[in-house]
Amino acid sequence: MSWFEAKAEKPKIPPAKALWAICPRCGSHMSKETWKKNGSICPKCNYHGRLPVRERIAATADEGTFEEMFREVSYSDHLRFHDASGDYRSKIEATIAKTGEKESVVTGRCTIEGHPVVLGVMDFSFMGGSLGTGTGERIARACEAAVAERRPVIIFSASGGARMHEGILSLLQMAKTSAAIAKVKEAGLPYISVLTDPTTGGVSASYAMLGDINITEPRALIGFAGRRVIENTIHQKLPDDFQSAEYLEKHGFIDRIVERGEMRRFIAKMLTYWGF
Amino acid sequence: MATKRAAKMTAFDRVKLARDAKRPHVKDFIEALCSDFEELHGDRLVNDDAAMVAGFGTMEEFKVLILGHRKGETVEENMSANFGMVNPDGYRKAMRLAKLAERFHNPIVTFVDTPGAYPGREAEERGQAEAIAKSLEFFSGLRTPIVVVVTGEGGSGGALAIAVGDRVLMMENAVYSVISPEGCAGILWRDGHQAPAAAAALKITAADLLELGAIDEVVDEPAGGAQKNRKAACAAVRKSVLKALRGLVKIPVDELVAMRYKKLRAYGNFYK
């Protein structure tokens, strides 16, 4: 018969995407198995890949100690926002159904190598880790809980910035969370900010950059404005390592780049120095 | 009157008005509000950012610190002030002088009018994100009254960095948004020309923001907009600022700072 029917009968081969992982930083190809086995870290360039929120919590908290708080706080569609591709409510409800999470940050208490802390972990796969009213509310409550329980605050950020779909109130979460962080410091408690890949826009311009120490993982992207926006503004090509963890450390905005395998130990050690 | 006009104007009409070069800018407000003004320069670290105006002035019975984004009327004026787009140095200058104002109990009045914080290479290298973050943290706890007036474009984080205060006023045709309508349209509509649709969806007008609890008061503008009668527009702002200051200076400073935290804390708290 005709050629296209013959083609249709071919056995199904899984698409390349299902088998291969590509490092977003250096472009190396490797099997998904290799990527996963290596803890989502590129064996070639040491880029520390994005971790799903529950994996990050498992990798950070002492086993079995994480108690989630403020799970009842979720998004708000006060603008009844819709754009060309549909409405915000359906989009975020689909994300909630897919991820099982109700906001872009998960907050709770746990211990890290025995040190009691309040932990917040952002999830880039939840609406790009965007800062919505629910995100800001969870972070503010986490800070207040830390003050009440005299625990240090540790926040792992991963975000593209404020959540446009929630308009001005999303922007104002930057002020709300920064004020809440100030309360933690005022209470004499430390705040360690871990900026993971990527942390940009309104999140980098609020609580993520306010750590008593700011730490990050190798090759993470950290910045305020996007590379393309800047290139279009200044009509110049930017260096390849622009807005990388290493670049920020060089310019003085990051205290330390910490390997993922060392993260727990490093955080615990810093807390020890300060008597926590 | 303001409500009647609002019905006829789209959000994007107001975006255009908010960006009108003939609108009063920080220089006009300072002239109208202060009987004297002495500008001060520099962040004491690397630079003086011309996009951020800072200085002390006298406003009736008050000795105030004025902070504001600088925009101009002509292209030359705008170029010299980077079109009101502040670098980290500008936010650091603002904080340095605000700290001084706190020490000598000077209330602070800020004028917000910027397309956004400057997206430049050096801005990133000198920590644009950190400078904005630090401003938010800093002003949230500053022990002196702060009155904010959004006078034109309230462009995202670059605006918010000097918009944390005890009383937030907004001129009738000003806009204040998490992202520019063009930026939002480019991302969510994949077409920058859909900016009018994005402007409507984002709810960025003074009336919208009042309803959302994001601001405290709308300052009415003369018929046709502030650019038609700058003098009247400045007089209206002056009246509202003075009223706000007279109320705020009566509040003991501990209470004032506690109230400010409560106000920030209430933004978008839908989960009692």
pLDDT over 90 (residue A12): no
How confident is the model at residue A14, as a pLDDT? Answer: 67
Six-digit token pair at A163?
Answer: 């959540």
d(CA B265, CA A19): 46
Residue B39 lies in a domain: yes
Mean pLDDT for chain A?
Answer: 94
Please, which residues 161-220 of chain B have a Cβ atom closer than 8 Å to chain A?
Answer: 163-164, 176-179, 184, 187-191, 194, 197-198, 201-204, 208-209, 212, 214
Q: Percentage of chain A with pLDDT > 90?
A: 83
DSSP string covering A155-168: EEEEESSB-GGGHH
> Between A and B, how many CB-CB pairs are < 8 A?
189
| Minimal C-alpha gap between A99 and chain B (Å) | 21
Tally of CA atoms within 13 A in the half-sphere of B217 that contains its CB? 18
More confident residue, B69 or A21: B69
Lowest mean pLDDT among A24-38, B213-227, B243-257: A24-38
Nearest CA-CA partner of A245 in A221, A264, A227, A266: A221
Nearest chain B residue to A73, by CA: B271
Nearest CA-CA partner of A198 in A154, A240, A161: A161
Q: Tell me: the pLDDT tens digits for B199-223?
A: 999 999 999 999 999 999 999 999 9
How confident is the model at residue A202, as a pLDDT? Answer: 97
Overall pTM > 0.90: yes
Max mean pLDDT range (A5-9, A26-30, A229-233, B62-66): B62-66
How confident is the model at residue A204, as a pLDDT? Answer: 98
Please, which residues 119-178 of chain A have a Cβ atom closer than 8 Å to chain B?
Answer: 133-134, 136-137, 140, 162-164, 166-176, 178
Residue B80 lies in a domain: yes
Q: Tell me: the pLDDT tens digits for A198-251?
A: 999 999 999 999 999 999 999 999 999 999 999 988 898 999 999 999 999 999
pLDDT over 50 (residue B99): yes
Residue B272 lies in a domain: no
Nearest CA-CA partner of A164 in B196, B194, B192, B202: B202
In DSSP terms, A22 is beta-bridged to: A29
Q: How many domains, in total, are found in chain B? A: 1
pLDDT over 60 (residue A32): yes
Residue B125 lies in a domain: yes
Q: Does B65 contact A at CB distance below 8 Å? A: no
As for the ipTM of the complex, it is 0.97
Q: Does B79 contact A at CB distance below 8 Å? A: no
Mean pLDDT for chain B?
Answer: 95
Please, which residues 57-96 of chain A have a Cβ atom closer than 8 Å to chain B?
Answer: 72-74, 76, 78-79, 81-85
In order of start, what are the domains of chain A with their CATH numbers?
10-47 (no CATH), 48-273 (3.90.226.10)
The verdict on a CB contact (< 8 Å) between A176 and B117 is no
Residue B271 lies in a domain: no
Nearest chain A residue to B265, by CA: A176
Tally of CA atoms within 13 A in the half-sphere of B136 that contains its CB? 32
d(CA A170, CA A201): 12
b/e A2-22 (16+ beta carbons within 10 angstroms → b)? eeeeeeeeeeeeeeeeeeebe
| Minimal C-alpha gap between A155 and chain B (Å) | 15
Confidence band of A39 (pLDDT split at 50, 70, 90): confident
- A67-69/B52-59 β-pairing: unpaired
Residue B66 lies in a domain: yes
User: Helices (H), strands (E): how many in chain A?
Assistant: 11, 11
Q: Find which of A78, A89, A224, A241 to mutate to test the B interface (most B CBs within 10 Å of its CB).
A: A224
Residue B196 lies in a domain: yes
d(CA A142, CA A193): 14
Please, which residues 219-238 of chain B have a Cβ atom closer than 8 Å to chain A?
Answer: none
Query: Taking residues B247-255, what's their average pLDDT?
Result: 98
b/e B117-140 (16+ beta carbons within 10 angstroms → b)? bbbbbebbbbbbbbbbbbbbbbbb
How confident is the model at residue B4, as a pLDDT? Answer: 56
pLDDT over 80 (residue A36): yes
pLDDT over 60 (residue A9): no
pLDDT over 90 (residue A129): yes
CATH code of the domain containing B82: 3.90.226.10
Q: Tell me: the pLDDT tens digits for A135-165?
A: 999 999 999 999 999 999 999 999 999 999 9
Residue B46 lies in a domain: yes
> Strand, coil or helix: what is B151?
strand
pLDDT over 50 (residue A1): no
pLDDT over 80 (residue A8): no
How confident is the model at residue B1, as a pLDDT? Answer: 47
Six-digit token pair at B241?
Answer: 């600022």
User: Which whole-number Å values give the CA distances from A5 to A2, A8, A9, A10, in the listed order?
Assistant: 6, 5, 7, 9
Domain that holds residue B232: 2-265
Q: At what angle do helices B253-266 and A167-186 cross, to 10 degrees?
A: 130
The verdict on a CB contact (< 8 Å) between A176 and B156 is no
